[in-house]
Chain A
Amino acid sequence: MELRYAKTGILMIEILPDKCDFCGCCVGVCPEDAIELKEAEISIIDERCTNCAKCVWSCPIEVIVFNRDGVTVK
């Protein structure tokens, strides 16, 4: 399985898009502008992400998770 790469090594931040409410809370705290959010679409911009996990802590409904093993390309 192919891993995704962040700015700092393998990407360990995973969004579960089916659970997302597209509220923008995670985008507001991301220091790297590494989250793209449209009306009902969300994604991480891998090459900007530093795996800092601030988005994980800020998501009110636990949609972003920290995945130590690395996120794989779907």
Chain B
Amino acid sequence: MKSNYDVIVVGAGPAGSMAARFAAEQGVSVLMLEKDRDVGYPVRCGEAISKEGVEEFIDSDERWIKAHINKFSFIAPDETEVILQFDSRQEGYVLERKLFDYELARTAAEAGTEILTRAYVNGLLFNDGKVSGVRYEYQGKQNEIKAKIVIAADGVESRVGRWAGLKTHIDFRDMECCTQITAANISVEPDTLYFYFGADVAPQGYFWIFPKGNNLANIGLGVSGKVGKTKSAQSYLNSFMDKYYPDAPVLTSIAGGVPSAVTLDKISAPGIVLVGDAARQVNPLSGGGIASGMIGGSIAGRIAGEAVKMNKPDHILSYDKAWNDRLGKRHLIFNRIKGGIYNFSDEKFNKIAKSVNKIPYEKRTLGKVFTTALMNQPSLLVDVAKVFLI
């Protein structure tokens, strides 16, 4: 290990690994620090992603794909089920993220990134008001290491950005507070993602069952921190399991938070950029943040590498615009749609499900489902129109 690097990445999730890889590919020196013992573990994720989201960065590999998805099932509060099949171009996966994240980090290493696990970053170094490195704890010792650019990829906590003066904490109402189990003997269709809605299962959020092959499934939910004031995510999960799968053996159980809001106002400052969950780059409507985090990471990594090569530190400030043009503006609209949908009453969900089921199965597309939903909430129509126009 050297005493200084061009770029230091904090956190080795998908966003961090892509930032490291894209920076290293520019020929600059990169170090990635991860607080946990293992890259990719523990997994706090439903592990669903589109094939397209994966293949922008890495070829699909059956070693880390647990299920191939081509259907959504939406279940309304009165248990009316709406099934939606998509065409093969829109295939999705349920990943084994332990292996997927590991593989992403390996590609970063292959591009030249050095990686250190069990390295807990607990402060920043400054020079003339500009971030100039990190402090970290490793094997009980406090260390300092200099960098021209720090990339904060520290996930939902997003503390590194705060130390640089960026306001990263998220309104508790926008935090989807989640619990999930991976359970066995869950006999659902192996190619379908199931989403349950309603005040009893997951108010202001949704409940999911994502199959992982051989009757294993990720089962979990997220509810707004506002809901958590009266009832925790864990109690909703317990009620659901008692009702539907009382005897299912549980192989893993985890908690987690999804920052379901728009991207932070500022995701760069002198000497530092933020990526992934740390920058609040999650798609606020679906709560999916693997693909968008990789996109944010790749943009930031590329720009950081360019800034070092050109010896133009201020170049990193162009990252905000690059992200907003690629996805940030879209997320503004998704967030407004989320605001509408999450406030639907159970009756409204039931009514929409019944109207959608009148559309013949072969003709049901996500667009048609949306249109039907919108006839019940016309003010959302403008927002949706914008999504399809951008």
List A residues at the B interface (Cβ < 8 Å): 21, 23-31, 33, 36-39, 54, 57-62
Contacts and interface: CB of A to CB of B under 8 A. Distances in A.
B232 A62 contact: yes
B256 A23 contact: yes
B276 to A, nearest CB: 12
Interface string B230-272: 0011100000000000000000001111010000000000000
Contacts of B36: 39
B229 A57 contact: yes
Nearest to B162: A33
Contacts of A31: 169
B255 A25 contact: yes
A73 B172 CA distance: 28
Contact of A29 (B44, B120, B155, B172): B172
B159 interface: yes
Contact of B232 (A26, A27, A59): A59
Task: Say what secondary structure dominates the interface of chain B.
Answer: mixed
B348 to A, nearest CB: 26
B364 interface: no
Contacts of A54: 172, 225
Given A25-B256, A60-B256, 4 more contacts: A29-B171, A57-B225, A58-B228, A60-B177
B155 A33 contact: no
B169 A33 contact: yes
Interface in B200-252: 225-226, 228-229, 232-234
Chain B: number of interface residues, binned into ranges: 20 to 34
Given A33-B169, A39-B118, A23 B255 contact: yes
Contacts of B155: 24
Nearest to A54: B172
B120 A23 contact: no
Interface in B20-46: 35-37, 44
A33 to B, nearest CB: 5
A27 B158 CA distance: 8
B293 to A, nearest CB: 15
Contacts of B256: 23-25, 60
Contacts of A25: 156, 175, 177-178, 255-257
A61 B172 CA distance: 15
Contacts of A39: 35-37, 118, 120
B157 interface: yes
A20 B95 CA distance: 26
Contact of B158 (A28, A38, A59, A62): A28
B179 interface: yes
Nearest to A21: B255
B290 to A, nearest CB: 16
A26 B172 CA distance: 9
Contacts of B175: 25, 28-29, 58
B228 A60 contact: yes
A19 to B, nearest CB: 10
B255 A60 contact: yes
A32 B228 CA distance: 20
